[in-house]
Structure formats: structure tokens, C-alpha cells
């Protein structure tokens, strides 16, 4: 039996917004479905939040904490779900690893800085900790079906992936992660990109650009393209996968015939609708997967190594905009270029009225 704890419960899962989605509730529901997991404690800097969470999942009130380090010391958990804003991810994950927690499942994006993302990954690797990130869309049924079409060879060898998420960092982390997934979870060699950021877009304590265009190349030769914001419509789907003998579209724009469509070079579009119960369904599947991997010692698909590949592209795009040129990997910065450009006044961001 695995003892599971939570850091950052959030306030209200029924009213999510860009300040918080109370993701711990969704993590907890997933663990609670598993016979080999027991929810034993939670920590939140707002005591009322921790108490409400504990009440919702039958956790003893005595096992609620304001200080997560006190919780780690008293409970000594097997699994910790980290559900705080990105700026706190590295610090908390590293503390959990140093405490000796065997498995840490962290919300995405990895961290607010590239240096933080690398340090948390390296610390967990050195200490033999299973560190995973909630890139649950790898388990989204329609996205699973799209990958099946690709791996079946129906569109030949992959040549290019094209992405149109609303932004590079918050939504983009899912898109980059999945693009890496279908192209073999390989690192990129380089990226070149440009962004525009004039109207404040502050999600979960982090700046996100209004518009971006970028190109990168994986080390196996597959090309990636992303277009966010105003220019996103240049790609007629959330994601397009182009092969030597065809194309797959995921969530095609304005297509009422299905969630996935594909065609060979000489054929017409085939459409498929995938029944999906709820947006949280992939979270259940992802957490079941990471618990299985903890048990059998296999590397999870949601591993920090895979997350780091996609996160390097994200920070690389912002660094390319800062440098006004191509960025070759490995990325040798520690900060967050977008945050740094905003702080330096290099981007004319208009704050939203409150």
C-alpha cells in the first residue's frame, strides 16, 4: 500500500480560473480509485483549504498541515503530488527528494525557470526518485487514437509536427510533450522563434506571451512548428502530424465529424469521434500509470526526462526572442527569458485592470 500526500490543495475545484484549478482534487480522485493507494495527509499554506480537502477525501484533520516539510517529516509518504504554482515546483520537489520520497508527481509546467527544471530533474535522478509531470494528454483517448494511427504507419514516416496551442508555456507544455511523444521522445537540436507580448496574460503566477511563431528540429530530423495567438489559425487543427504518405489532425478546427481525422497522400479525409467521459479522465489514466511504474520499476511515459525535452524548447523560444536569433541546444541559461524581458521593460506589457 502506498501512502499518498498532497502539497497545495487549492481552494475550490468547482470554480477554476487562471489563479488556480485546485488540481490536487483531481489527483486525489485518481489515487482514490486505486486499491494500492491510501490518501493520508495534505498541506496548504491556507489552513481552510487543507481542511476542506481533507474533509472531501476522508483524511484525518490531524494530518493537515500548513508546512509541507513538517508533513514530510511526520508522515514519511511514498508518493507526493505537488499541485502549487510553477514558481514553487523546483524548491518543493527538491525538498521532497532530499527527504527521501520515492515518487513525486508534479503539476505542469515543470518550473518557472529553465535552471529550476534542470535542478529538480538532476536531484531526483541522483537520488533515485521517480519524478513525473502531469502531461496527462498522452492518455487523452482521442490523442491516443491519433498516435495509434501514426505508429501503424498509415501516414508513413513523420516529417513534421505543427502545433497551435493558445500559448507556449501553460497550454504549450502539453502540445510540446505530445509532439515529442509521437516523434520518439527525442531532444531538439535547435529552435528559432519570435514572440509578441503587449497585453498581460498571467496564468498561475506566470507570464504567457500573446503570440508566438517558432521552428525547431529534433535530433532525428523531424521538424516542429508552432503558432500561438492571432496567427494560430494558419494550422487548421490543434495539432497536425505530417508524414511521408499522409497527415493526421488532432482536434481539427471547425470539423464537426470527429476529434481526429487523417488521410493518405492520395486519399480523402477519414474522420473519427472518440468518446471521452471528462477532461479529467486522462489524469486518472496517467496516475494509474505512474503508480504501476513505481511498483514495477519501469520508466514512466510522464518522466522528468521527457518533460525536460519539451521544456527546453519552450524556454528556447523565449531565449531566441531575447537574442533575436537561433538558439542551439543544450540550452545554457538558468532564468526565464520572458519574465526577464518583462522585468527589464523590454516588452511593452499593458497590465489588466483589476
Domain count, the chain: 2
Residue 353 domain-assigned (yes or no): no
Residue 350 domain-assigned (yes or no): no
Say whether both 131 and 149 belong to one domain.
Answer: no
Say whether both 126 and 216 belong to one domain.
Answer: no
Say whether both 191 and 242 belong to one domain.
Answer: yes
What is this structure's pTM? 0.96
Count Cα atoms within 13 angstroms, Cβ side, for 91. Answer: 9
Say whether both 125 and 252 belong to one domain.
Answer: no
Residues 6 or more apart whose CB falls under 8 angstroms from that of 287 comprise: 27, 30, 31, 34, 105
Indicate which CATH number applies to the domain containing 201.
3.30.360.10
Other beta carbons within 10 angstroms of residue 144's beta carbon come to 15
Indicate which CATH number applies to the domain containing 25.
3.40.50.720
Backbone angles phi, psi at 280, to 5 degrees: -85, -10
Say whether both 158 and 193 belong to one domain.
Answer: yes
Residue 25 domain-assigned (yes or no): yes
Residue 348 domain-assigned (yes or no): no
Say whether both 195 and 337 belong to one domain.
Answer: yes
Q: What is the pLDDT of residue 232?
A: 77
Say whether both 6 and 104 belong to one domain.
Answer: yes
Say whether both 132 and 154 belong to one domain.
Answer: no
Secondary structure class of 8 (helix, strand, coil)? coil
Residue 267 domain-assigned (yes or no): yes
Domain that holds residue 212: 140-276+310-343
Say whether both 216 and 336 belong to one domain.
Answer: yes
Say whether both 203 and 338 belong to one domain.
Answer: yes
Say whether both 125 and 13 belong to one domain.
Answer: yes
Q: How far does the chain reach from its first CA to its final CA, in angstroms?
A: 47
Residue by residue, pLDDT tens for the chain (354 residues) are 999 999 999 987 777 666 677 999 999 999 999 999 999 999 999 999 999 999 999 999 999 999 999 999 999 999 999 999 999 999 999 999 999 999 999 999 999 999 999 999 999 999 999 999 999 999 999 999 999 999 999 999 999 999 999 999 999 999 999 999 999 999 999 999 999 999 999 989 999 999 999 999 999 999 999 999 987 778 899 999 999 999 999 999 877 767 999 999 888 999 998 877 777 889 999 999 999 999 999 999 999 999 999 999 999 999 999 999 999 999 999 999 999 999 999 998 888 765
Q: Which three cell numbers stand for residue 43?
A: 498541506
Residue 351 domain-assigned (yes or no): no
Residue 250 domain-assigned (yes or no): yes
Residue 150 near residue 183, CB atoms below 8 Å: no
Question: H or E segment at 311?
Answer: helix 304-323
Burial (0-12, 13-18, 19+ Cβ within 10 Å), 233: exposed
Residue 328 domain-assigned (yes or no): yes
Say whether both 82 and 227 belong to one domain.
Answer: no
Amino acid at each position: 500500500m502506498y501512502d499518498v500526500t498532497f502539497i497545495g490543495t487549492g481552494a475550490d475545484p468547482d470554480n477554476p480560473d487562471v489563479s488556480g484549478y485546485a488540481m490536487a482534487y483531481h489527483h486525489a480522485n485518481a489515487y482514490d480509485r486505486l486499491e494500492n493507494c491510501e490518501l493520508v495527509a495534505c498541506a496548504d499554506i491556507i489552513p481552510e483549504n487543507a481542511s476542506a480537502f481533507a474533509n472531501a477525501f476522508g483524511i484525518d484533520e490531524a494530518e493537515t498541515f500548513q508546512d509541507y516539510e513538517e508533513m514530510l517529516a511526520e508522515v514519511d509518504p511514498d508518493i507526493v503530488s505537488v499541485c502549487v504554482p510553477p514558481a514553487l515546483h523546483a524548491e518543493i520537489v527538491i525538498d521532497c527528494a532530499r527527504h527521501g520520497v520515492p515518487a513525486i508527481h508534479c503539476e505542469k509546467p515543470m518550473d518557472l525557470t529553465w535552471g529550476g527544471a534542470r535542478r529538480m530533474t538532476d536531484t531526483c535522478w541522483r537520488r533515485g526518485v521517480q519524478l513525473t509531470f502531469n502531461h496527462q494528454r498522452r492518455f487523452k483517448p482521442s490523442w491516443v487514437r491519433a498516435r495509434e494511427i501514426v505508429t501503424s504507419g498509415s501516414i508513413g514516416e513523420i516529417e513534421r509536427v505543427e502545433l497551435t496551442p493558445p500559448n507556449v508555456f501553460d497550454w504549450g507544455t502539453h502540445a510540446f510533450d505530445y509532439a515529442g511523444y509521437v516523434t520518439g521522445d527525442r531532444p531538439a537540436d535547435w529552435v528559432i522563434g519570435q514572440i509578441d507580448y503587449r497585453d498581460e496574460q498571467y496564468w498561475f503566477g506566470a507570464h504567457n506571451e500573446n503570440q508566438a511563431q517558432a521552428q525547431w528540429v529534433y535530433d532525428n530530423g523531424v521538424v516542429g512548428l508552432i503558432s500561438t495567438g492571432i496567427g494560430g489559425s494558419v494550422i487548421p487543427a490543434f495539432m497536425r502530424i505530417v508524414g511521408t504518405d499522409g497527415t493526421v489532425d488532432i482536434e481539427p478546427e471547425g470539423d464537426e465529424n470527429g476529434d481526429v481525422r487523417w488521410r493518405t497522400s492520395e486519399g480523402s479525409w477519414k474522420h473519427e469521434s472518440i468518446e471521452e467521459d471528462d477532461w479529467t479522465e486522462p489524469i486518472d489514466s496517467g496516475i494509474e500509470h505512474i503508480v504501476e511504474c513505481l511498483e514495477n520499476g519501469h520508466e514512466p511515459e510522464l518522466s522528468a526526462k521527457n518533460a525536460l525535452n519539451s521544456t527546453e524548447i519552450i524556454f528556447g523560444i523565449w531565449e531566441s526572442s531575447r537574442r533575436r536569433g537561433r538558439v542551439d541546444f543544450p540550452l545554457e541559461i538558468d532564468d526565464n527569458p520572458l519574465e526577464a524581458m518583462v522585468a527589464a521593460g523590454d516588452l511593452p506589457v499593458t497590465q489588466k485592470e483589476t
